Structures are given as C-alpha cells and as structure tokens.
Amino acid sequence: MSERTYTLTVACPDRVGIVARVASFIAEQRGWIIEANHHSEPDTGRFFMRNVIQASSLGLEPDAFRQRFAALAAEFQMEWQLADSARPKKVLVLVSKHDHCLVDLLYRWRSGDLPCEIIGVVSNHPDLRAYTEWHGVPYHHLPSGSAEEKAAVYRRVGEIFDAAGGELIVLARYMQILPADFCARYAGRIINIHHGFLPSFVGATPYNQAYQHGVKLIGATCHFVTADLDAGPIIEQDVIRIDHSDAVEDLVHYGKDIERQVLSRGFRYHLEDRVLLNGRRTVVFR
Amino acid sequence: MSERTYTLTVACPDRVGIVARVASFIAEQRGWIIEANHHSEPDTGRFFMRNVIQASSLGLEPDAFRQRFAALAAEFQMEWQLADSARPKKVLVLVSKHDHCLVDLLYRWRSGDLPCEIIGVVSNHPDLRAYTEWHGVPYHHLPSGSAEEKAAVYRRVGEIFDAAGGELIVLARYMQILPADFCARYAGRIINIHHGFLPSFVGATPYNQAYQHGVKLIGATCHFVTADLDAGPIIEQDVIRIDHSDAVEDLVHYGKDIERQVLSRGFRYHLEDRVLLNGRRTVVFR
Amino acid sequence: MSERTYTLTVACPDRVGIVARVASFIAEQRGWIIEANHHSEPDTGRFFMRNVIQASSLGLEPDAFRQRFAALAAEFQMEWQLADSARPKKVLVLVSKHDHCLVDLLYRWRSGDLPCEIIGVVSNHPDLRAYTEWHGVPYHHLPSGSAEEKAAVYRRVGEIFDAAGGELIVLARYMQILPADFCARYAGRIINIHHGFLPSFVGATPYNQAYQHGVKLIGATCHFVTADLDAGPIIEQDVIRIDHSDAVEDLVHYGKDIERQVLSRGFRYHLEDRVLLNGRRTVVFR
Amino acid sequence: MSERTYTLTVACPDRVGIVARVASFIAEQRGWIIEANHHSEPDTGRFFMRNVIQASSLGLEPDAFRQRFAALAAEFQMEWQLADSARPKKVLVLVSKHDHCLVDLLYRWRSGDLPCEIIGVVSNHPDLRAYTEWHGVPYHHLPSGSAEEKAAVYRRVGEIFDAAGGELIVLARYMQILPADFCARYAGRIINIHHGFLPSFVGATPYNQAYQHGVKLIGATCHFVTADLDAGPIIEQDVIRIDHSDAVEDLVHYGKDIERQVLSRGFRYHLEDRVLLNGRRTVVFR
C-alpha cells in the first residue's frame, strides 16, 4: 500500500489510438502500470482514463514526466493531471455538531486509510475541539453569525484553505449552506455528505421526509458541491433497510452509519484520483 | 409450508391489554400460535397485530371463530380479518409487453411460492398469450384504444375481476395509467411495480431520469395504486449498484432483475396478510 | 430512546396459552408493551419471547414484578429475566493491537448507541492506553507472558470483571485464545468478533485463507465464546464483495469495516436482550 | 447491446510494455476499443487483459486478426483468444428435477440476456421436457442408472456435446457427481451452481448444514467443475440474510433465488469472456 506511485488521469475527446499512444509513452519511460481504467462515453464522445504507475520503475521525476507528456496531451486535447502519492492532498474539513463523520474520518486518516494531510477542522460550533486536537489537528471555531457576517466567515475559511495550500474541502455534516461565490471559487474541490438518497429528500430534513413517504430503504449521498443545493454531481451512494417499526429518531440513528461509510468511500475515491467530472455526472474508477 | 393456517390481522387504537385479550381469546379456543407480530405507532396511537394460528389446533371453523371474535373486535374498535390458507386469494394480473415480471410470477406461482389462484392475465397487447396459456391461465387481450374506449376497457377489466371473485389486481409492468374511478373502486386491492426508487423518478422514464442524475444505485418500488400517480403507500423497495459504464439500456436491463424481485416480495407479503395500511404508509410484518 | 423500559425475556417448552398468560399478567400490572417478539422452534419444541414494557406504565418496581412473575414462570418451566434500562449492563472489553473495533465501540458508547457501562479495557499490549483513557475508561495492560503466566493473567481478568460486577466480556479483536476454564466460568457472557465468515476460515489467518480459496465475498462473525475455537453460537454475520484485484492486505483492510459493523450490531443486540441461546444456535429478535 | 464486437483476452507473464504493444497493434488495425480491463497479479507475476473491440472499426476479419496477432502473442508467451459476438458460444445444460435455475436460464436466454446458443438440455429425469421443448430446445433424458451404466451415460453426454460443437457445459442444479475423467476431458468448460457459500458446506445438504451451524446468511457459489468435489475455482458468489425463524425448508426456498442469480451472473460473465483462470482462483473482469 505504501509504495510510491504516480496516477495519471485523462479526459479527452474519444478517438482510435489514445490508449496505444499513452501506453506507449509510459512504456518508453519504462513505467510499470499497476492499475489501469478506461471509459468511453458514447453519448458525449468523451474518453476517460486512469493509470497508476510504479514510481520506482520510471527513469524520471514527476515534473519531467509532465513536461514530456504535455505535447501528447495537447495533440489529443486532454484535460489531465499526474498525482504523486508522496505528496498527499491537503484537506480542510468543515463540520457542525454531529461528530459521527468527523470521528470516522479522523480514525481512518490516522490509521492510513485516507491518504491525505488534514490541514484543519473548521466548525461553526466549539464542541468538537478537544477530540480534533487530540489528533494533533488545528481546530478553527468560526461561529455562523448574522447574514452580514457570513461573508467574513467564508473569507476566513478561504484564507485558511489557501494559506495551507488546500486542495479539497470536505463537508462532514456541515449544516450551513455555502455562499454561491464560495462554491464557484472552489468548484470541483468541495465534497459533501448528504443524509438522504438524492435526488429524493433535498434540504435539511431528509430523514423526516423519508419517514413521511414511508420508504423502505434510506440512504446517503456523497457529491460535489455546487451553488445548486444538493444537486452537484454524485460520487457515491448507499442505502440501508428500515421498516415500519423505525421512528424518525431511528432513521437518524441508523443513517449515521451509512453517512460515514458513504463519505469515507467518496472521499477516498477522490484522494486516489478515481473521480472524474463528466458534466452533471461523474466517472468513478473503483 | 402446506399446513392449513388462519391468519388474524388487526388494526385498532392502542391501549393496555389488547395482546392479552386477543391471545387469551385464541388460547380459549385452543389455538396454537405459530407466528405473531405486533406494532405500536407512537405518532398515531394505532396498534397493529398479526397472528398465524395452526388450523388443526382450533376446535372451530373460521366462520365460527369470526362470529365469536366480533364482540371483542367491536370493544376495541378493530379493523380486522381472518384469512384461511385453504382459500387462496384470487388474483388478476395486468401486463403490457415487458414479460420479465409475468414470467417470474407465473413460475413462482406454479412452484408454490405465491399462494394464490391466478384467475387471469389481462394485457393491452397480444404478445404474452402463448406463454400465459401454457400455464393454463386465461389470457384477455384488451387493446388500449382511444380515450373514449378507455372507460369500456376498464369496465371489462372490472367485470372479469368481479365475476371471478377477484381479491387483488397486480400490475406486473402494465404501462397504462388506470382511471381514477377504477383506482377508487378497488382501493387497497391494486399493487404495482414501479421501475424506480420512489419518490424519485415518477412516471414512464425512470431509468432515463436516473441516468441523467448520475445516481449510483437504481431501484424498484412495489406500492399500492391510488389515483395519485406512483404515490400510493410503499410495500417494498430494493436497489442495485450501477456505475458510469452503464448506459440507459444497461439500467433497463439490470433493472428487470430488481423489479421482479421487489414485485414478487411485495406480492407475497400481501398474499400472506403481512401488509397493513397505515395512512400513506404501510406496516409490513416480515 | 431514553424512556425507561423493562425487558422480559423468556425461553420455555412450547404449549398453548403462554402468550395469553404472560400478556395477561403484564396487562394486570397495567404494563404497556412497546415491543414484542415470539418464536416457536418446531424441532425442539422450545418457545422464546421478548417483551419491552414502558416502565412508567407499571405500578410496581422491577423486584416486585420479578416476585409476582416467579410463580407463573415456574408453572411454565421458564428460563427468564427482567432487565431494567435504568441499570445498564457492565462490560469489560478485551483487545490486542488492532484498534478499529475498540475505536468504534468507544464512539458508539459515548454517543449513546451502546447502552452499557464500560468498566474497563484489558489488553496484552500497551498501545491503546491513551485513546482509551481519553474516554475516561480504565486501561489494564496485562502482557500475555509465558504459558505458566497465562493462568495468572486470566485470574486477574476475572478479578477485574467480578470486582466491578461485570456482566459481559467483549473480545474486540483480542488475539489470544482464552483458557477453557475461563470460557466455562463465563459461559454465555463472552462474545467475540471473528474476522471470517464462520464456519469457514477458523483461526488466526482467515483473510489469508479467503484469498487462497479465491472467494468473492469476505465476512465477519460475532459469536459467543466457548472452549471450542470459533465454534460458539453465532449472533451476527455480514459480508462484503471483493474481487481478483484485492491482495491479502486489501482484504485485511476492507475487513475492518465489516468487523466493526458486525461486532457493534451483535453487541447491541446483546445489550438490548435480543439474543437468546438455543443450543448451538441463537434466537436474535431484531 | 447488439453491435458486433471482438473480445480479445490475454494471460501472460507480466512485464513493461504489454499494454502499449497490444493497444498499438489494435490501433494499427484501426480497432476502436469499447471496453478494456487489466490485472497484474503481484504474487505470481501474471498479467491478464481483456479488450472489447468494435467489429466494424477493424479493417480485417477475425481470422486475419488472429494470424497477425500470433507473432506478438508468441513474443510475450501469451495464452489468448479472440471471441466473435457474431458466433455465440454453444452451451449444453445439465439439470435434474429442481427447475428454478433452468427456468431462469431459458428466460434470460430467449430475452437476449445470455448471448449463447443452447444446444440442448440433458437430464437424469423426464420432468422438465415439456417446459424445455416449449422453448424449442432439444431435451435428452438420460437416466442415471447403475454404477456400471454411468460410464455410458457420460459417454453419451460427451457425444451430444461434441457433435454439436459444444463449448460450455452448465450444471443448473444437476444432482449427480460427474466422473473424474469427464471433468478432466472438459476442464475449464464446465461450470456449476452450488447451493452453499463455499468453501463451507460442500456436498448434497448445504442448507441442512447451514441450519445446524446457525449461520445468519446463506449463499450460493458458481464455480468451475474439477474432479475435486465443489472445490473448483470460484467465479461468483452471493448471500442472503436468514434468521432464527427460518426452518431448513425456508432456507431451501430462499436459496433458490440466490442460486439462480449467482448462476446467471457467473454464466453471463463466462459467455462475455470476462472469466480467466488463475490457478485455483479466477480473474473476473466485471
């Protein structure tokens, strides 16, 4: 698990020969491909690719790889990146009072399951400071405040994120709605866990809605955040069975398990460069 | 599985002593209870109960049981019924062209998995006649026709159902919308399989909608039919995982498996008197 | 969730009228039954029952209930108990170095999901002291030592357990085999999480065995501990899907999720008096 | 779904450049790759690959492709084949009295879900003739007979299979043990559905064994047949939840659903050339 790897992800218009050219390029650099995934989207004519390369097999550094690869990428009009496992992504976690997702993320992070650097936890409540700091992670208490103060709060969040070179914001049951300009500025870099099976049950009370509708399964959804509430591209979902004997409190209770599982999976997929945006949808190479 | 049983189902206002009185009544008749389920609904103060009694243990016939039980039932304001496994429910199946649910129902029926009498299959298409008749089941081809003819079609369906003493109508991928008066007349006696995870994706194109939303699980829902399209009380649901590599046709394809499983489960629960209506919701004693 | 309740569990030879007599007894004390489960075992002629009674509805204290109920219990040769939610069970946790189950149990315990009192954590390693003590739980480091010292270690474990009035021992990935006399002394009061889908893959290397056999699902099993290794009555099991791309390390890794889920479910069932022994098997009223 | 494709599957010693060479070869023939899967096995140093190529994109016929590819294949010591979707695999089904798997296979086959040609059904019982022949499939009743007659029976099965150019034998709940020489002769070309979660519960009474062990999930396994009973490489498995209220007959009953699902999935994977043997294990590109 700990061997250094480079992960090359590519999205481009589909045509014959892309795999051949990319694979040949990697082979010319003596790169040993450990894992490879491809996807052709017939509707849109887009092609998506992910290659995990053993770092020690390559005769060159990531930057040199990137420079050489750029010409090929330009020829095929690729959106692409090369991630280096020796440089884990920097992540800021936003949370309110519910701690089940945060506890799970911090445990998985310190046990090596989530390959990232957690640069801090921001919360509109003071409650989770002690637990967070026990893990050696800085805790920023930024109360929500009035509507006017909101802009200042998110300016501060942006400063914390940017100053630390942040690459991903994870909303781990953060019960505030982010301002549209914040969403736009960090588009593709914010993921959320929603406590409902989207597109059903948008908003703040999904378990209540699920109860009223008498559904037999409840779920959770990990998705990219856009200005459109709970409607960003979906990364991961899952459900659990409930029945007539479960009250709303029971749904809230059981839901915690599925929320933390779905968030940790979606988060890990993102950290491992398995998630590529495809319009309103995602490609997730699992 | 084939031992004769009586199934007593009860719904009434909750209060202390219901179980004691009902259980004592059954014990006085020497009834051996094989299976028992209770549910108290704190919100509405309703109580629901199901008892399966070994027929051979009782010293009296079902009608005599019903007469004696009536006084107790009145005292507790019970809605109740006593079903007799020796008198399987009479079921009419409505279907269009998709045959996966019909094939599954007919197989489960002839192998003893669905304890009912299938009094006929009605379809707006002629296609499934041979397969249905191979099973010895009458097939009625009633083309949809114009809007004016619609009333006549459903009058005819009602006649077929009533003449045979029908007790349940199963829509096994019947792609027509039933008239509101038909739904009202047979309220609580029509179940449908919807090829989506309700309340998401109402209407005729749920797989297409699921694809467009990029969901990671697709589902099916068995529910009671009301005049409100795809919004009747839910009996059973389930989902399967899909991913970015699945086109709409793949969803349609995989969905067939989950549709037939969900329908056969919901249908069987109903035949076994496990499903009790509770406003917009259901109690399902599994 | 927090309302005080009494839970009456009963196992006895099956015959007509048990439910009637027990329900009538409860009704005579004005007991409001919130939840009820029954099971008749045709093979063995045993009957099992669980009733959850709202404490505030009863006109008498638990001890008075027990005294009155004793005559009825004797008449029906019942094994029975009445648990009081105001007196949570006292639990001792045994663990080695793997912390995923312990972290999960401590979180669920402090968030109210596991209604018990954790009287301490015993480990043959010092590693998990800081995390345990952060939760205010005493940590006892008892190194395994030589074969001769083993008897002393388990004598000490027994003393810790008995001195605190312990009622349940949970092996949360405790990688030592308990002595047969210890198992016998605390029979029915020790549960374990095994990292394999029993009865397959007994012993210390289940993931390795699963990999060698090329199974497509791996699992975990929560069971009562007996002197017969990994063969005690099963309380709960679950599985997750793997595939050819998963190495043994991946199985170990994914397995952690399923282990902690299965243990927390089995543990909670036990705390809520849902688990009744039935020879080599269990009745679990879920 | 119906577009003509070629599927190239490869297994060979792993080394740098295989993907590049194969992808370049395909690109040189103007082949459009619709689906691609790779797997490197670190333990054994084997590499596995599957490419689905759009037939219309290639400028040459399958035989010409095979001839040109042979040199490359030899250089890399490949075991390989090129399957043509226009030439569906010829399959012989063996069955006894249980019909749930056969009914499912015949339905999926006639609805286009299983891309194969069913050349016949062989049974040691006459029961399923009418249903099989309704589908236009020849039915061969070959009674099991005495031990001496057994050799003759399997000689006859081999003749039927060979005469029709058979490529795969599917045991769809065939309750006879195949002779070792028959298994050897058709090694890698016989798949079975076992009604238990292997490696647990080998042999004829898996549900009984599952009941006795008190497991909480039961399963089914689709595997290659070898002379070693129920121990051939596993292709697919799945499970369903049971509980204490389920008798052995219930397990048998619920098991039918999981058996037919697991068999139809394993069978389809094989027909789509997704299954590659890897010693005692399989690679299944799903």
Among the partner-chain residues A214, A236, A286, the one whose CB lies closest to the CB of B234 is A214
Residues of chain A whose pLDDT is less than 50? none
In D62-149, where do the E strands start and end?
Answer: 79-84, 89-95, 116-123, 139-141
Contact between chains at B111 and D99 (C-beta distance less than 8 A): yes
**pLDDT digit string, tens, across residues C161-192:** 999 999 999 999 999 999 999 999 999 999 99
* Residue for token pair 């029509």: B190
Q: Which residues of A touch C134 (CB under 8 A)?
A: 134
Six-digit token pair at D104? Answer: 């499912």
Interior angle at CA B100, CA B94 and CA B106, nearest 5: 65
**8 Å CB contact between C100 and C26:** no
Q: How confident is the model at residue C42 (pLDDT cuts 50, 70, 90)?
A: confident
Domain ranges of chain D: 5-84, 89-284
Among the partner-chain residues C16, C32, C34, the one whose CB lies closest to the CB of B27 is C16
Task: Kindly state the average pLDDT of the residues C248-271.
Answer: 96
**pLDDT digit string, tens, across residues C68-82:** 999 999 999 999 999
- The closest of A78, A81, A80, A71 to A12, measured between CA atoms, is A78
DSSP state of A216: S
C-alpha to C-alpha distance for B272 and B282, rounded to whole angstroms: 15
What is the structure's pLDDT at D254?
93
Q: How confident is the model at residue C2 (pLDDT cuts 50, 70, 90)?
A: confident
CA dihedral B56, B60, B65, B71 (to 10 degrees): -140
Q: What's phi and psi for B215, nearest 5 deg?
A: -70, 155
**pLDDT digit string, tens, across residues B9-22:** 999 999 999 999 99
Contact between chains at C40 and B26 (C-beta distance less than 8 A): no
Q: Which fold has domain B89-284?
A: Rossmann fold (3.40.50)
What is the structure's pLDDT at B146?
87
Q: Is C239 on the interface with D (CB under 8 A)?
A: yes
Interior angle at CA D56, CA D55 and CA D60, nearest 5: 75
Contact between chains at C20 and B17 (C-beta distance less than 8 A): no
**pLDDT digit string, tens, across residues B230-256:** 999 999 999 999 999 999 999 999 999
Distance in Å, alpha carbon of D234 to nearest chain C alpha carbon: 6
DSSP state of A56: G
- The closest of B249, D275, D53 to A40, measured between CA atoms, is D53
Helix residue ranges per DSSP H, chain C: 18-28, 62-75, 100-110, 129-134, 147-163, 180-185, 206-213, 248-271
Q: Which residues of D touch C239 (CB under 8 A)?
A: 217, 239
Say what the ipTM of the complex is: 0.94
**8 Å CB contact between C269 and C233:** no
C230 catalytic, yes or no?
Answer: yes
**8 Å CB contact between A116 and A87:** no
**8 Å CB contact between B5 and B85:** yes
C-alpha to C-alpha distance for A195 and A206, rounded to whole angstroms: 6
Contacts of C3 (CB under 8 A, 6+ apart): C54, C55, C56, C85
Among the partner-chain residues B107, B134, B253, the one whose CB lies closest to the CB of D103 is B107
What is the structure's pLDDT at B112?
93
C1 has a pLDDT exceeding 80: no
Contact between chains at A16 and D27 (C-beta distance less than 8 A): yes
* Residue for token pair 């498996």: B257
Among the partner-chain residues A27, A38, A57, the one whose CB lies closest to the CB of D20 is A27
Q: Which fold has domain B5-84?
A: Alpha-Beta Plaits (3.30.70)
- Catalytic one among C99, C104, C230, C273? C230
Strand C116-123 relative to strand C89-95, pairing: parallel
C-alpha to C-alpha distance for C160 and C178, rounded to whole angstroms: 16
Contact between chains at D20 and A17 (C-beta distance less than 8 A): no
C121 has a pLDDT exceeding 70: yes
Q: Which residue of A has its CA nearest to D285?
A: A37
**8 Å CB contact between D168 and D189:** yes
Neighbours of chain D (3+ CB pairs under 8 A): A, B, C
Q: In b/e form, how buried is each residue of D153-184, taking b as 16+ CB within 10 angstroms? A: bbeebbebbeeeebbbbbbbbbeeebeeebbe
DSSP letters, C163-232, are HTT--EEEESS--SPPPHHHHHHTTTSEEEEESS-TTSS-SS-HHHHHHHHT-SEEEEEEEE--SSTT-S
Six-digit token pair at B7? Answer: 């199934």
Distance in Å, alpha carbon of B164 to nearest chain C alpha carbon: 37
Contact between chains at D213 and C198 (C-beta distance less than 8 A): yes
DSSP letters, A78-121, are -EEEEEETTSPEEEEEEE-S--HHHHHHHHHHHTTSS-EEEEEE
**8 Å CB contact between A100 and A127:** no
**pLDDT digit string, tens, across residues B44-88:** 999 999 999 999 999 899 999 999 999 999 999 999 999 999 999
Six-digit token pair at B283? Answer: 């109690």
C-alpha to C-alpha distance for B33 and C245, rounded to whole angstroms: 51
**8 Å CB contact between C120 and C169:** no
Among the partner-chain residues C199, C214, C245, the one whose CB lies closest to the CB of D233 is C214
Among the partner-chain residues B103, B134, B249, the one whose CB lies closest to the CB of D1 is B249
Q: Is A197 on the interface with B (CB under 8 A)?
A: yes
Six-digit token pair at C243? Answer: 């595939």
Q: Which residues of chain D from 41 to 100 reach within 8 Å of chain A, CB to CB?
A: 57
**8 Å CB contact between B63 and B139:** no
Count of positions (residues) in chain B = 286
Q: Which residue of D has its CA nearest to B103?
A: D107
Residues of chain D whose pLDDT is less than 70? 1
- Contact pairs from chain C to chain D, CB under 8 Å: 84
Distance in Å, alpha carbon of A107 to nearest chain B alpha carbon: 26
Q: Which residue of D has its CA nearest to C39?
A: D245
**pLDDT digit string, tens, across residues B149-168:** 899 999 999 999 999 999 99
What is the structure's pLDDT at D59?
82
**pLDDT digit string, tens, across residues D51-99:** 999 999 998 999 999 999 999 999 999 999 999 999 999 999 999 999 9
C-alpha to C-alpha distance for C32 and C34, rounded to whole angstroms: 6
- pTM attached to this predicted model: 0.96
Neighbours of chain C (3+ CB pairs under 8 A): A, B, D
Q: Which residue of D has its CA nearest to A16?
A: D32
Q: Which residues of chain B from 13 to 52 reach within 8 Å of chain A, CB to CB?
A: 39, 41-43, 48
Neighbours of chain B (3+ CB pairs under 8 A): A, C, D
- Contact pairs from chain A to chain D, CB under 8 Å: 49
What is the structure's pLDDT at D148?
85
User: If you average pLDDT over every residue of chain C, what do you get?
Assistant: 96
Strand B217-224 relative to strand B190-194, pairing: antiparallel
| Residues of D identified as active-site | 230
Distance in Å, alpha carbon of B133 to nearest chain D alpha carbon: 12
Q: Which residue of B has its CA nearest to A239?
A: B239
Contacts for A174-179: CB closer than 8 Å, 24+ residues apart: A174/A94, A174/A95, A174/A96, A174/A123, A174/A124, A175/A96, A175/A97, A175/A98, A175/A124, A175/A204, A176/A96, A176/A124, A176/A144, A177/A229, A178/A154, A178/A225, A179/A150, A179/A151, A179/A154
